[in-house]
Amino acid sequence: MTDLKSRWLALYVLCLGDLMIVLDSSIVNVALPSIQSDLGFSQDALAWVVNAYLLTFGGFLLLSGRLGDLLGNKRVFLGGVVSFTTASVACGLAPSAGLLVAGRAVQGLGGAAVSAVALSLIMGLFSDPAERARAMGVFGFVMSGGGAVGVLLGGVLTGLFSWHWIFLVNVPIGVGVWLAARRVLPADDVVTQRVRVDALGAVLVTAALMLSVYGIVTSTWLLLAGSAVLLAAFVLWESRTAAPLVPLRLFALRNVVVSQVVGVLWAAAMFAWFFLAALYLQQVLGYDALEVGLAFVPTSVVMAFCSLRVSDRLVMRFGIRRPLMAGLGLAAASLALFSRAPVDGSFGTDVLPSMLLLGAGAGIAFNPVLLAAMGDVEPHESGLASGVVNTSFMMGGALGLAVLVSLSTWRTDALAADGTGDLAALNGGFQLAFAAGAIAALGAAVVGGLFLRPKPMAVPEVPEPVALDELSADPA
């Protein structure tokens, strides 16, 4: 697996597999009204179409990452793809609300396995700094742009066909990824000694993460307190056991810790932006599902260009700190603009500028965030570090979404109580939530700028990515 074209093919396969997972966190948002109507969900129960996925996905990321280190990243990746694809069939054909929620929970398990090891596999494939920066730019687009693509795809599939296809579309993709991954991913190292899994640590951290996600999405403070107790017990156990699930020395690495803080704040702003922007377009401007999806096209296009053509060059020239600050600053400006969007807003003046700024900011910022999180980690713990990275993004997104949606609801209720019209009150709630998201993104930029250790990465030339139509050619 030393051939450059083979490594880029493996990268494309890993990115396609991870794209399925990232899409699933946002693709259902536009289809929720149709799902509620067809399967008879109550308003409260409808949230579990999203929450069941988040619960298992967030709870099993760290365990999946550690299993990748112990059992082999390729093996865990393939198992995750199989679980996710099978669960997608169950979700797409679900005849009842209960079966759909159960299928979403299994999707979360498979998604955790794929996401937890994909980044580790990419780090192992590309050791040269220039190649790694380019590869991480591609993967960064998948992670950051997947949310926008998910809204677009969810709108198109729901508007032209039905909500069933937002799940069934995963089936051919999953089968193709599994077949390709078996051929192109590097073989796992042979384990010559008995693998010991920290069972108690796995139970404690998984239970803590699942309780925290459940507490966040249901706004139950008692569950959050219980999660904190379990997390404290986990840290105490990890400091004493001989073979810890998560070696605490990992958190002595400054860039690892700082990147987690940045990831939490950044994901809080990003998740809320995708969710609330879709609601603003639907509930305030009156867009249908297809129109909402198409409205996110500019974000996806700009994000793809900046991720694939701009971010890596900035990292190679300036290191990770300044591009991270610039990207997150653009994202903060995007959210600040959306916080001024009026009730009678137009797409060209009130929506498009924010879409373009967020696409540029996310496309530039994700690459340095990922490089900062993974750059100081030893290869044999890269799967665990990948799981930690994804956990910080997932937990930050869930927490940010819960907090900002609650803030939006509070503001809407307060305005309505003062006699403001329903639509104006709803928009006022959105405006406050967008402003809070802008503060979170700006906070991420400040934390990264002040505390990340600079890592100069300048090299003479950045190689271009290998095009898919060149993969059949003989290696140079």
Query: What is the model's pLDDT at position 349?
Result: 92
Q: What is the pLDDT of residue 475?
A: 38
**Alpha-carbon torsion, ordered 332, 333, 336, 337, to 10 deg:** -150
pLDDT given at position 190: 56
- DSSP output for 186-243: PPPPP--S-----HHHHHHHHHHHHHHHHHHHHT-HHHHHHHHHHHHHHHHHHTT-SS
Per mean pLDDT, which range of 130-139, 381-390, 424-433 is the poorest? 381-390
Are the C-beta atoms of residues 121 and 15 closer than 8 Å to each other? no
Distance CA 360, CA 340 (A): 20
Query: Is the pLDDT reported for residue 236 higher than 90?
Result: yes
Closest CA to 407 of 442, 381, 437, 452: 437
pLDDT of 457: 47
pLDDT at 217: 67
Residue 461 pLDDT more than 70? Answer: no
pLDDT confidence of residue 476: 34
Interval 243-255 mean pLDDT: 82
Chain segment 279-321, per-residue pLDDT in tens: 899 889 988 877 887 888 888 889 888 888 898 889 888 888 9
- What band does 191 get if pLDDT is binned at 50, 70 and 90? low
What percentage of residues in the chain have a pLDDT greater than 70? 91
Local structure of residue 465 (DSSP, 8 states): P
The residues, ordered by sequence, that sit 6+ positions from 123 with a Cβ below 8 Å of its Cβ are 132, 374, 379, 382, 386
Q: Is the pLDDT at 346 greater than 70, yes or no?
A: yes
For residues 314 and 205, the model is more confident at: 314
Is the pLDDT at 95 greater than 80, yes or no? yes
The letter for the amino acid at 29 is N
Q: Does 258 or 206 have the greater pLDDT score?
A: 258
Pair 391, 111: CB distance under 8 Å: no
Res. 193 pLDDT band, cuts 50 70 90: low
Q: Model-level pTM?
A: 0.77
User: Stretch 387-398: mean pLDDT, rounded?
Assistant: 78
Give the model's pLDDT for residue 1.
44
Q: Please tell me the least confidently modeled range out of 218-222, 266-270, 285-289.
A: 218-222
pLDDT at residue 459, as a whole number: 41
> Which residues, in sequence order, are CB contacts of 369 under 8 Å at separation 6+?
140, 259, 262, 263, 266, 324, 448
Q: Among the ranges 18-22, 278-282, 389-393, 412-416, which has the highest mean pLDDT value? A: 412-416
15-56 pLDDT, tens digit each:
999 988 888 777 887 787 788 888 887 756 777 787 788 778
Summarize pLDDT for 137-175 with one digit per residue, the tens: 888 778 766 766 777 788 788 878 888 999 998 999 999
Q: Confidence band (pLDDT; 50, 70, 90) for 195?
A: low
For 220, phi and psi rounded to 5 degrees?
Answer: -105, 105
The pLDDT of 3-23, averaged and rounded, is: 88
Residue 365 has pLDDT above 80, yes or no: yes
Residue 88's Cβ-side half-sphere holds a number of Cα atoms within 13 Å equal to 25
Q: What CA–CA distances, in Å, run from 447 to 147, 364, 377, 393, 438?
A: 24, 17, 21, 16, 14
Mean pLDDT taken over the chain = 84
Q: Is pLDDT larger for residue 259 or for residue 469?
A: 259
pLDDT of residue 471: 42
